[in-house]
Structure 1
Amino acid sequence: MKIESWLHILVFLLLCGCSGGGGEEEVTPPTEPETPKVQIALNCGIASRATETSFESGDKVGLFVVNYNGSSAGTLQNTGNHADNVKFTYSSAWTPEREIYWKDETTKADFYCYYPYATITDVAAYKFSVNADQSTEAKYKASDFLLGKTGGVSPSSDAVDITLKHVFSCMQIKVAAGKGYTEEELNEVVESVTVHGVSTGASINLSTGAVKAEGGEKVITPWKDGEYYKALIVPQSVAEVGLIVVLINKKEYTLKKAFTFETNKRYKFTVTVDKTNEGINVGIGNWEEDGVDHGGVAE
């Protein structure tokens, strides 16, 4: 019985020795910590706002982020971009509706930003309209559309700077007193100033910034801001029709003028009103930008 017990013990010890394998235990290498993602921050500025030079609290912009493919820039799509139309709200800083992060530490990206925020279904032909009635500051500002792009940005914890520019033209009309009038007298007799023969609809390509006027001709009522009547105009070429109509003592005096409005440009029209025996002559002075005399007579 003793010999049998010793045999059992010997077999047990041999089995334990074999299970050890005679080698070193396999060590599982430590898992490398995952690189923390870097959040995308935004800093939007304006080349020159319709009425201000900065955004106001509560303003909302939309942001698209398009990643590079290696060294080649990507193409802005309706959906499927790295970030699709993410809303940012301004209140001393820009706050996103949801956090977005860079793809990784090396992939560059293009940033497309626009104002005001809206639902976008076609980035190549977004529909927007200026108000025909821009007679108040609120209605005038609601007609403003801004667009900007910053391209080839490398991943960073710094905020991405984007400068937005006006997509439309700004028309500033000043009615000045000529012969026979004082400024006070003229202000009393001018009943209204309107802009005619322009389309108010626009198709905007958010990628290229190209704008196409759409829709029939409308009459725009500008906002009187101090000495100027201001209106935002969709870029377009206007035929030689009654562009500006000044209503004085219930009579319309029309300035016929062909003109081309370009994106992100502001044009100043000084309309001088003279009192004559036969009525009123209205001429137009030089444009602010080109310095060429585009004078005419309203009839």
Structure 2
Amino acid sequence: MAALMLASCDKAEEITVDDGSIRFVMQHPSATRATETSFEQGDKIGLYLTEYTGETPAPLQISGNWANNVAATLDGADWVTAKKIFWSDNRMDVYGYYPYMSPVSIDEQPFSVSLDQSTERVGDRLGGYEASDFLWAKTEGVDQSEQTVTLQFSHRCSKLVIKLVKGSSYEGELPDNATVYVHSVVPTATIDFTTGAVTKDIFGEMATIKTRKVDNATYEAIVIPQRLESRRPFIEVVVNNVSYLLEDTFQFKAGMQHTLSLIINSNPDQVSVDIGGEIVGGWN
């Protein structure tokens, strides 16, 4: 009898009770994070849900939606919301974004990329690169018959990958103590949560971004989409107090990865660049 009771308890623990709340599946764009795989434990996403009136979707607002900026945190294999979000009797649109913030505007939310993207994650505090990588997703017209809502996220900023290549006169191996900077970029923008668009702050001042090191030959940074229309200091590599500086124009496109191969020689004045192809969306 005791064995039967224990088996019964075990089976009861396996039963999932449907309480009418929504379950969420978050799909990361691709291998662009520190783990090179997906979202990490403790990552927090913001969720908005709007309700239809008949066949007409409600506009997304800063408040007054079906759900307003509810945090969803990755815990194990599940996304746990700060409070349960229940299904409406009507269809709904679901918006998601990362990293989590406290918006003051739906269509002109201030946002900025980190000027030091080499800093690492400490606990729940994101590293500079991660905090700069704005992701956005929207799923339209879901209803309670679906039980689970899947959000496919995409990158909304621009990614720059800088590869160091030894020129014909460069002696020895690539240094392990190089520091790479991206100059002359505006780090501030506004976000439209309705469309996921990231727009450069037209009054923003140019600044310098310190890149994240991947290995001795590869450095990367997240940049606000923008165009550098006039030739100016762009990429700088500092090795053993020697500065290799490239001046150029460039266009950072939204959702694109741009790769620059920077060819360095023993003479710091002999720096050239090879611009590779663009990668859309997943940033593989």
Classify the TM-score, shorter chain.
0.7 to 0.9
Letter matched to residue 187 of structure 1:
P
- Following the alignment from structure 1 to structure 2, what is the Cα–Cα distance between the partners of residues 238 and 245? 16
Match for residue 66 of structure 2? 82
1:272 equivalent in alignment to 2:268? no
Name which of 81, 85, 102 aligns with 1:119: 102
- Following the alignment from structure 2 to structure 1, what is the Cα–Cα distance between the partners of residues 33 and 227? 21
- Following the alignment from structure 2 to structure 1, what is the Cα–Cα distance between the partners of residues 80 and 152? 17
In percent, how many aligned pairs have the same letter? 35
Letter matched to residue 237 of structure 2:
V
Rg (Cα) greater in structure: 1
- Following the alignment from structure 2 to structure 1, what is the Cα–Cα distance between the partners of residues 240 and 68? 54
Structure 1 position 248, deviation (Å): 4.4
Q: How many residues align?
A: 249
1:55 equivalent in alignment to 2:43? no
Letter matched to residue 43 of structure 1:
V
TM-score (norm 2): 0.81
- Following the alignment from structure 1 to structure 2, what is the Cα–Cα distance between the partners of residues 275 and 120? 49
1:103 equivalent in alignment to 2:81? no
- Following the alignment from structure 1 to structure 2, what is the Cα–Cα distance between the partners of residues 98 and 249? 52
SS in structure 1 at match of 2:159: strand
Contact 1:37 1:102 (8 Å CA) reproduced: no
- Following the alignment from structure 2 to structure 1, what is the Cα–Cα distance between the partners of residues 198 and 168? 41
1:177 equivalent in alignment to 2:166? yes
Letter matched to residue 221 of structure 2:
A
Structure 1 position 223, deviation (Å): 1.1
Following superposition of structure 1 onto structure 2, how do residues 141-160 of structure 1 map, counting pairs within 5 Å? 141-160=130-149
Structure 1 residues 38 and 157, CA gap change in structure 2 (3 angstroms):
farther
Following superposition of structure 1 onto structure 2, how do residues 1-299 of structure 1 map, counting pairs within 5 Å? 38-48=20-30, 49-51=32-34, 52-91=36-75, 92-104=77-89, 107-137=90-120, 138-182=127-171, 184=173, 186-187=174-175, 191-214=178-201, 215-226=204-215, 227-239=217-229, 240-248=231-239, 250-275=241-266, 280-289=269-278
Letter matched to residue 192 of structure 1:
T
Match for residue 5 of structure 2? none
Q: Which moved more, 1:215-224 or 1:156-165?
A: 156-165
Structure 1 position 253, deviation (Å): 3.1
Contact 1:176 1:183 (8 Å CA) reproduced: no
Letter matched to residue 222 of structure 2:
L
- Following the alignment from structure 2 to structure 1, what is the Cα–Cα distance between the partners of residues 151 and 171? 46
Structure 1 residues 158 and 179, CA gap change in structure 2 (3 angstroms):
same
Match for residue 10 of structure 2? none
Structure 1 position 156, deviation (Å): 2.6
Q: Report 1 or 2 for greater relative contact order, CA contacts < 8 Å, sequence distance ≥ 6.
A: 2
Query: Which aligned runs of 4 or more in structure 1 are off by greater than 4 angstroms?
Result: none
- Following the alignment from structure 1 to structure 2, what is the Cα–Cα distance between the partners of residues 203 and 252? 33
SS in structure 2 at match of 1:140: helix
Alpha-carbon displacement from aligned partner over 1:251-287 (angstroms, at most 9, x marks no partner): 43322221111121111110011335xx541111132
Structure 1 position 289, deviation (Å): 1.9
- Where do 5+ consecutive residues of structure 1 fail to align? 1-35, 291-299
TM-score (norm 1): 0.77
Structure 1 residues 130 and 183, CA gap change in structure 2 (3 angstroms):
farther
Structure 1 residues 136 and 37, CA gap change in structure 2 (3 angstroms):
closer
Contact 1:67 1:74 (8 Å CA) reproduced: yes
Alpha-carbon displacement from aligned partner over 1:8-35 (angstroms, at most 9, x marks no partner): xxxxxxxxxxxxxxxxxxxxxxxxxxxx
Alpha-carbon displacement from aligned partner over 1:58-109 (angstroms, at most 9, x marks no partner): 11111000111111222101111111111111111011111111111xx211
